[in-house]
Amino acid sequence: MNAIVLSIGDELLIGQTLNTNAAWMGSELNKNGVELIEVLTISDTAKSILEALKYAESKAKLVLITGGLGPTKDDITKKVFADYFNAPLIENKEALKNVEGFFKRYNRDMLPVNKLQALVPTGCEMLLNKAGTAPGMWMESNNVVFVSMPGVPSEMKYLMEHEVLPKIKKKFKLPVIVHQTMMTQGIGESYIADKISDIENALPQYIKLAYLPSPGIVKLRLTGRGENEASLLKEIDFIFSKIENRISKHVFSKIESKLEEVLGGVFRDKKLTVSTAESLTCGALASRITTVPGSSEYFSGSIVAYSNDVKINQLNVSKDTIERNGAVSEEVVTQMALTAKSLFGTDYAVATSGIAGPGGGTDEKPVGTVWIAIAGPRGVFTEKFQMGKGRDRVVEKTIFSALSRLLQLVN
Amino acid sequence: MNAIVLSIGDELLIGQTLNTNAAWMGSELNKNGVELIEVLTISDTAKSILEALKYAESKAKLVLITGGLGPTKDDITKKVFADYFNAPLIENKEALKNVEGFFKRYNRDMLPVNKLQALVPTGCEMLLNKAGTAPGMWMESNNVVFVSMPGVPSEMKYLMEHEVLPKIKKKFKLPVIVHQTMMTQGIGESYIADKISDIENALPQYIKLAYLPSPGIVKLRLTGRGENEASLLKEIDFIFSKIENRISKHVFSKIESKLEEVLGGVFRDKKLTVSTAESLTCGALASRITTVPGSSEYFSGSIVAYSNDVKINQLNVSKDTIERNGAVSEEVVTQMALTAKSLFGTDYAVATSGIAGPGGGTDEKPVGTVWIAIAGPRGVFTEKFQMGKGRDRVVEKTIFSALSRLLQLVN
């Protein structure tokens, strides 16, 4: 059972919008045992939509289409969809009621163009979109299922969860797909491959190993396909633990998880607390820690000290220390961490200071210079980093390093 | 002159990695007048790569390929690429020197598998990758240019900027593409379309209008294609200003820009300063404001008060106020904003408090309830919002609403 996603929209092709829809759909299909074989992103023209429908029909049993269902002129998917199947548009009463309810709920006047949202091609099944005004459309033709959905992420997700996925599970007999992912740090992918080459060479055909590197982390993913979930899980588990034994000191999580989630688990288990004092990361570190639900159990707060005045007035850094060593220095981050620890009364406090760029670098302290300090029960840990260029990248790498050092300290 | 991007990698199809490469490449191609007609994302198998190369060759003059060039077994793009062109792999001296230098620089031992990185197909031009070890490959065949690059974003970007784009500009005569984007708030796309329908209907064939809605914002983009840049710019400018006149009070920027950038411009121009006191957004608001280079001119700092203790101790909210009204209340955010304004000595201070979920909601204050306060020279502005569900979405919408209210207050 395989699927193709067609993402329609010029904004995706010119890079104005990131195709998060396709990634989300891929992940959901995968969990449900549907193999997504391709994502095809195309322009908002009738010609490219028609060609793509034909192409997808020749390759897959399920074609999921997003985009181009809005009320404005540039949205032409529904018309082209109807043409492709030779199925004239007719008004759907339930869809119209939904559109009218939507405008009533938000106390807005309905325009004639909004009423057109309730048209659907004859012969298709209308999928009621309670998150918006454009209905989804489920059309079967030549043994292929075509589903057209709006491109607005919340509306697409509503339709996938409440209509499309349940219908797919009902209609198709789905195979079992099992994934297991481990998260490693402090080792490059070629070194891992070298340490486990015999295990990798001995993998059966239906189990695949993938290396997924990102800054500071390499994920290893085993994927198995088959019919018997229990035996597949057992086999993958066994290979997984063999790999883990070879590189155990680099594995920081045995499930697909983010560093902040792993850290949250440790802090919760050990009943520890943490706070931050941030200059370079400017709240992004606190914000990352608190993306984890329940983080209020171990995270109390942060002082974001972007200006030196705030470092002096709120974080007890002396003016003299800044003048002698600069704001990006071991002395300053140490004081920031110590003050945060005592102000917030936490077991640990993490402080960051650095030069994100593009301006502000010097010969001695070029853009990308970062100091991190972690005050804890056994004293203050400090480290200097060179994070390279690119404002966002410097901040991202600093958050990663701060969390990963903190994890090492508490573990 | 048109192009196709082939993104290779199972991690993209199962949604483990977002395809940011394709968006970035689309934006760069577009700026340079190359029309990206499709992005095709496929699996790491020889069959799908071969089929995709054939498909792309039949549709475009330029095929940009990313992914599958790493040193590990799951990376097969180079081998398949060589097979497709019947071009055996041979060692490239310059590429080998680059790989060796890379390992020397980081003081790491080179493995035999790393040496294989220096192989390239005969007949292709090797593109030196100074950001990593896998070289890029430029191959011309049947009047189509194929370029293969690593999937690691920093390496792909290095190669695009230093090798691929300069070579494209030299080889092809590129047409002119002009975009102009305006940013609107407080009006839905169908209302805009209604107000400007006569302008839209009168657009010439070579100028396209697109509506791009996202939470709180609708972007309007005019795209013109032609040969004479000056006359195209003039024509688009004229249409642009006609549209702007119809909806002027909703336009907050006449260039493609983020709300925080627009806000930064106003704060800099008016020499105003701002700080934040954050519970719900937990540093994400400060972090968003400071993604703008030069934001240290107008942003001083933040108190992130995730726990009530921090609200009481650092932000002067009385225990009694919290007990009587709850932490998510007008009284609490008002006090948070007032204290931040005076602690940081800024002209404005923005405070947020809310229930992000999934837990913590009640009948009276369900998940998604958010209070925002902005203390300024003329007193405190407060507003209550219902942001719906989804932890990230609630935070994102709160950041947007806080910045957009702040912009209204200072403008």
pLDDT > 80? residue B106: no
Which of A74, A191, A256 faces B209 most closely, judged by CB atoms?
A: A74
CA distance B265 to chain A (A): 17
Q: Residue B71 forms beta bridges with which residues?
A: none
B44 touches chain A (CB under 8 A): yes
Most confident region among A216-225, B97-106, B148-157 by mean pLDDT: B148-157
B17-40: average pLDDT: 94
- Lowest mean per-residue pLDDT among B2-6, B300-304, B391-395: B391-395
| A279-332 pLDDT tens trace | 999 999 999 999 998 899 999 999 999 999 999 999 999 999 999 999 999 999
Q: Which pLDDT does position B215 carry in this prediction? A: 67
Quick one: pLDDT band at residue A6, thresholds 50, 70, 90? very high
Residues 6+ apart with CB under 8 A from B357: A293, B367, B368, B389, B390, B391, B394
Q: What is the DSSP string of B236-247?
A: HHHHHHHHHHHT
The answer to whether residue B113 neighbours chain A at the CB level (below 8 Å) is: yes
Residue A225, pLDDT above cutoff 80:
yes
A153 touches chain B (CB under 8 A): no
Topology (CATH) of A2-171: Molybdenum Cofactor Biosythetic Enzyme; Chain A (3.40.980)
For the segment A382-403, the average pLDDT, to the nearest whole number, is 90
The arithmetic mean of pLDDT across residues A370-376, rounded, is 98
In this predicted structure, what is the pLDDT of residue B403? 94
Q: Where are the domains of chain B?
A: 2-171, 176-253, 259-410
Taking each helix axis as running N to C, give the angle between helix B330-344 and helix A308-315, from 0 to 180 degrees, rounded to the nearest 10. 110
**Is the CB of residue B271 less than 8 Å away from at least one CB of chain A?**
no
Inter-chain CB proximity B344 and A310 less than 8 Å: yes
- What element of type H or E holds A192? helix A189-195
CB-based contact, B165 to chain A, within 8 Å: no
For A65-120, the pLDDT digits (tens) are 999 998 888 889 999 999 999 999 999 999 999 999 988 887 788 888 889 999 99
Separation in Å, CA of B57 to nearest CA in chain A: 15
C-alpha–C-alpha distance, residues B397 and A362, integer Å: 38
* B19 contacts chain A (CB < 8 A): yes
Task: Name the nearest CA neighbour of A29 among A200, A227, A172.
Answer: A172
> A-chain residues within 8 Å CB-CB of B193?
71-73, 113
Residues composing chain B = 411
- Other CB atoms within 10 Å distance of the CB of residue A47: 10
CA angle (B135 as vertex; B131, B136 as ends), nearest 5: 100
Residue A186 has pLDDT above 90, yes or no: no
C-beta of residue A260 within 8 angstroms of C-beta of residue A293: no
Can you tell me the distance from the alpha carbon of B125 to that of B82, in angstroms, rounded to the nearest whole number? Answer: 13
- Residue A396, chain B, CB below 8 Å: the answer is no
Which among A97, A38, A83 has a CA at the least distance from the CA of A62?
Answer: A38
Higher pLDDT, A388 or A136: A136
Q: What is the CATH number that goes with domain A259-410?
A: 3.90.950.20
The mean of the pLDDT values for chain B is 93
Q: Which of residues 59-88 of B touch A (CB under 8 A)?
A: 70-74
**Minimum Cα–Cα distance from B213: chain A residue:** A152
d(CA B368, CA B327): 14
pLDDT for B42 equals 98
- CATH assignment of A176-253? 3.30.70.2860
Q: Nearest by CB to A190, which of B37, B114, B358?
A: B114
Looking at the partner chain, which of B30, B114, B283 has a beta carbon nearest the beta carbon of A283? B283
Would the pLDDT of A215 be above 70? no
Instruction: Give chain A's mean pLDDT.
Output: 93
- CB-CB neighbors (< 8 A) of B37 in chain A: 13, 42-43, 48
Give the residue-averaged pLDDT of B127-138: 94
**Residue A130: what pLDDT?**
92
Q: Quick check: B345 and A309 CB within 8 A? A: yes
At A91 the pLDDT is 95
Tell me the pairing of strands B136-141 and B125-127: antiparallel
Question: Which of A72-76, A219-223, B45-49, B348-352 is least confident?
Answer: A72-76
The number of angstroms, rounded, from the C-alpha of B315 to the middle of its chain's C-alpha atoms is 34
Does residue A411 surpass a pLDDT of 80?
Answer: no
Assigned token pair, A395:
């901040």
Q: Output the pLDDT for position B168.
A: 96
Q: Using the beta-carbon criterion (under 8 Å), do A287 and B310 form an inter-chain contact?
A: no
Judge: A113–B194 Cβ closer than 8 Å, yes or no: yes
The CA distance from A409 to the nearest CA of chain B, in Å, is 23
Interface A-B, measured as beta-carbon pairs within 8 A, has a size of 284
Whether A48 sits inside 8 A of B28 (CB atoms) is: no
Q: B162 φ, ψ to 5°?
A: -95, -20
